[in-house]
Amino acid sequence: MNTKIWLSSPHMGGEELKYIRQAFESNQITPFGNNIDAFENSLENYLSQNQGNAISVAALSSGTAAIHLGLVVLGIKAGDEVLVQSHTHIASVNPVLYLGAIPIFIDSEGETFNICPVILEEAIKDRIIKGKKPKAIIAVHLYGNPYKVDEVAAVAKKYGIPILEDSAEALGSKYKGKYCGTFGDVGVLSFNGNKIITTSAGGALITNTKSQKEKVIFLSTQARDNAPYYQHSELGYNYRMSNICAAIGRGQMEVLEEHIKLRRDVHEFYVRLFSKIPAVKVFSVPDEDSFSNYWLTVIVIDFSQTGGKTAEDLRFFLENKNIESRHFWKPMHLQPLYQEFDYYGGTVCEVLFMSGLCLPSGSNLTEEDKNHIEISLHLFFNL
């Protein structure tokens, strides 16, 4: 039996240990230090490319923490309504509940699988008629694929509603040459173990100004006033990134471009493989405006052409071949935790959930792994 092939596993570049050692040598085993400064700097330089203005980044303990603080910075309070893409990871929406705010879910469109700008506007109009204008929009670049950035931004601008851009899966992806994470009023990155680069656990909040970044750091370190003792006037959090985690991130930034190239090679591999299997469509970005890091390569299966075999049948088959695959995110409005909240749209994200599958996409897949995957997929589809 082959060793397990994972969906997306950590892939170290080599220099991470050097920066960890530096932290030990300077005794910066702390939530502040050189590695945090250097990691933030390198993210800022990276994201500021092709950008009119400088981008600021605050390193935090997780992507979830970044979404929570992002909503705080946008002024979300208990009872406020927040519009959220339904097809997403649970972390996109849980912080809405942390704040006592009310999530309202929006369906996807079929071209990027992300938030549908048309339904988004319908929802906004309807909420305004019902007496409450939503306070924020959470849009997600799922699987690394940019959402319809211009269309969503136009709706947000028309109604004066800020965007929290969940770019947790899309570091390195671009829209019209600019990096994902820089389009919203605030943007979120995650460096969890299975993301395109990892700090073991970690995240970041991307802001447009240095003063907003300072505010985020202040909130993430217990909101301590400038006094000789511990005095607090505001509600803070303990969400700052550790200097050890940042050491890993520093090393990972040195291989980010290479990892994006490798993930895109994996996507190419699947496009080639499935070109012979008409029942399967590999997701590719709709046009040249979008550039995906292809964090995960995802497929949609047309059961009418598989003799009734489903996405779950394929997942189970691969599991028995020691290959991990994963269903699409189950829509939030279908989650037991969230089913009582309002939903706008049709069945796009439900159908995607039924028919989609995410395939092993790591930058560390070997030729042997790819061979095993190819043979297994041919077997399943009777080639």
Ligand X SMILES: *Cc1c(COP(=O)(O)O)cnc(C)c1O
Site residues (CB under 6 A) for ligand X? Answer: 62-64, 88-89, 91-92, 140, 166, 168-169, 190, 192, 203
Instruction: Read off the DSSP letter of residue 139.
Output: E
Q: Position of tokens 């950590």?
A: 10
Cβ distance to ligand X smaller for residue 68 or 178: 68
Shortest-Cβ-distance residue relative to ligand X: 63
Output phi, psi for 364, to 5 deg: -105, 15
Cβ distance to ligand X smaller for residue 296 or 377: 296
Cβ distance to ligand X smaller for residue 95 or 345: 95
Contact between 262 and 294 under an 8 Å Cβ cutoff? The reply is no
Give the residue from 7, 9, 29 showing the smallest Cα distance to 20: 29
Closest separation in Å from C-beta 161 to ligand X: 20
Cβ distance to ligand X smaller for residue 203 or 360: 203
For the chain, strand residue ranges (E) read 56-60, 81-85, 102-106, 136-140, 163-166, 174-175, 178-179, 186-190, 203-207, 280-282, 290-291, 297-301, 326-327, 343-344, 356-359
Closest separation in Å from C-beta 321 to ligand X: 26
Cβ distance to ligand X smaller for residue 152 or 377: 152
Contact between 321 and 335 under an 8 Å Cβ cutoff? The reply is no
Q: How many residues does the chain have?
A: 383
Cβ distance to ligand X smaller for residue 69 or 300: 69
Closest separation in Å from C-beta 69 to ligand X: 12
Closest separation in Å from C-beta 141 to ligand X: 8
For residue 190, the Cα-to-chain-centroid distance in whole angstroms is 7
Closest separation in Å from C-beta 324 to ligand X: 16
Closest separation in Å from C-beta 167 to ligand X: 8
For residue 42, the Cα-to-chain-centroid distance in whole angstroms is 19
Cβ distance to ligand X smaller for residue 61 or 376: 61
Closest separation in Å from C-beta 147 to ligand X: 11
Residue 179 pairs with which residues in a beta bridge? Answer: 174
Cβ distance to ligand X smaller for residue 217 or 273: 217
Query: How far is Cα 373 from Cα 378, in angstroms, rounded to an integer?
Result: 9
Closest separation in Å from C-beta 367 to ligand X: 28
Q: Long-range CB contacts (< 8 A, 24+ apart) of 322-325?
A: 322/1, 322/2, 322/3, 322/4, 322/5, 323/4, 323/5, 323/360, 323/372, 323/373, 323/376, 324/4, 324/5, 324/6, 324/7, 324/360, 325/7, 325/357, 325/358, 325/359, 325/360
Output phi, psi for 187, to 5 deg: -130, 155
Cβ distance to ligand X smaller for residue 90 or 379: 90
Give the residue from 313, 322, 293 showing the smallest Cα distance to 357: 313
Closest separation in Å from C-beta 62 to ligand X: 4
Q: Are strands 343-344 and 203-207 parallel, antiparallel or unpaired?
A: unpaired
